[in-house]
Amino acid sequence: MTVEWDGGVLVSTEEERVCFDPQRRGEEFDRIFISHSHGDHTAAFSNKARKYSTLDTRRIFEARSGIKVENFNTAKYNRAVRVGSLEVIPRNAGHMLGSTQFEIHTPEETIVYTGDINCVNTLTTKAAKPIDCDILIMETTYGEPAFLFPRREEVYVDITKWIVNEIKNRKIPTFEVYTVGKAQEIVALINHFTELPVVVSPTISRVNKVHIESGVELQYIGVESCEGKDVLNGGNCCYVVPTRSRQDLPKNAARATATGWSIRFRPRNHMGFPLSSHADFNQLISYVKEAKPSIVYTCFGRSEILSHYVEKKTGIKSLPLKNKTDLYSSKRKRKNSDIRTNVERMLDFVVMPGFVYKKKWMINKLTSFGVSPQVAQRVLDHMEKKGIISYDEELTGYRLT
């Protein structure tokens, strides 16, 4: 089994080539998994290969692009998809509606590809949770220490105060934001903290409809409707349009963006709010610490920088996935062999079902073969993940399962 970058995150076995978020159409892959419906992750939706995502991700893509997805398979949260010797489990990523982390079980180890993640709750999403793994493949959009976001509730308050002030000045608060994810959070914020009507562009209106059908409460008016035009002309409202929109803005528009980039780059003639649907630097480092991988590969963003800080702050080896060489694959194969060897050694001693073998005793047995205590613990963790043994906290030991 190998993990590499091939225009996307590629996991290969002797039988299958499975790619996650390919940046090209990816006809050559056996299976494709798509983490969410932002445009930089959805190139493969346009091809004929067998592909998987959540239903929300597919429906948002179709609403935004107008392209009908073919050869589609629904991936449901927490339900495994079997692909040859691999088992792929979609998990919530917290980035937007339908966004997914992928937990990939192989015969030897567990891989997690985070996709784009957000580790705090928002008005429209639940926070992503770290997943224990052997190999972590992580996005790095804001993977440097300069990107530390304020508490989300504080940003919500700042946006609300700005809206109220611009309304008092007879302006129309106009948000130029991403069509998918951010637009819906801004609409929800205005609904929650004010009584102002919200007018949205046609594309955002279509994406909003998908959110409502999936249980997200949003109140808005499409600008293409007679009511939308009347409300916008009346002026006592908010307006939400796509970033770099060619849509005509009202002459009295007070323009704002909402993006994590506002921490470092303030837009001209705009108000910038640091509201991001990505994890910031601290969230990314915390995720690594909780996931406890043996190695971290970085991709999609500030890969070199985050890899440096992962090693500095956690002591875990890290490198950009694009920089990975075949040397690691061969090392990993040897390490997998070592894991299997030590599992076999352990099973020579742990033979009685129902009997509790003390954790300290099991670690000592493995260290007698020259294995470090850290590696011995990793072998026990591996055996527990694979369901070979289970841990009894009260008796501080393991049983055969």
* pLDDT tens digits, 180-223: 999 999 999 999 999 999 999 999 999 999 999 999 999 999 99
pLDDT score recorded for residue 182: 97
User: Could you tell me which of 94, 111, 100, 115 has the C-alpha nearest to residue 22?
Assistant: 115
pLDDT score recorded for residue 245: 73
At residue 44, does pLDDT exceed 80? yes
- The average pLDDT across 376-393 equals 86
pLDDT category, 101, cuts 50, 70, 90?
very high
pLDDT score recorded for residue 26: 59
Radius of gyration of the chain (CA): 24
152-273 CATH fold: Rossmann fold (3.40.50)
pLDDT category, 246, cuts 50, 70, 90?
low
User: Could you tell me which of 88, 49, 277 has the C-alpha nearest to residue 179?
Assistant: 277
pLDDT score recorded for residue 355: 76
CATH code of the region 330-400: 1.10.10
pLDDT score recorded for residue 325: 53
Measured over all CA atoms, what is the biggest interatomic distance in the chain, rounded to whole angstroms? 80
2-147+279-324 CATH fold: Metallo-beta-lactamase; Chain A (3.60.15)
Domain boundaries, the chain: 2-147+279-324, 152-273, 330-400
At residue 336, does pLDDT exceed 60? no
Strand order across the beta sheet in which 172-177 lies: 221-222, 198-200, 238-242, 172-177, 253-258, 271-273
What H or E segment, with its residue span, contains residue 114?
Answer: none
Q: DSSP class of residue 45?
A: G
pLDDT score recorded for residue 138: 97
pLDDT score recorded for residue 164: 97
DSSP for 280-339 reads -HHHHHHHHHHH--SEEEEEEE-HHHHHHHHHHHH--EEEEGGG--HHHHHHHHHHHHHH
Look over the chain and give the mean of its residue pLDDT values, rounded to a whole number. 90
User: Could you tell me which of 398, 394, 388 has the C-alpha nearest to residue 356?
Assistant: 398
- The average pLDDT across 263-271 equals 81
User: Could you tell me which of 337, 303, 306, 307 has the C-alpha nearest to residue 322?
Assistant: 303
At residue 394, does pLDDT exceed 60? yes
| pTM of the complete model beyond 0.85 | no
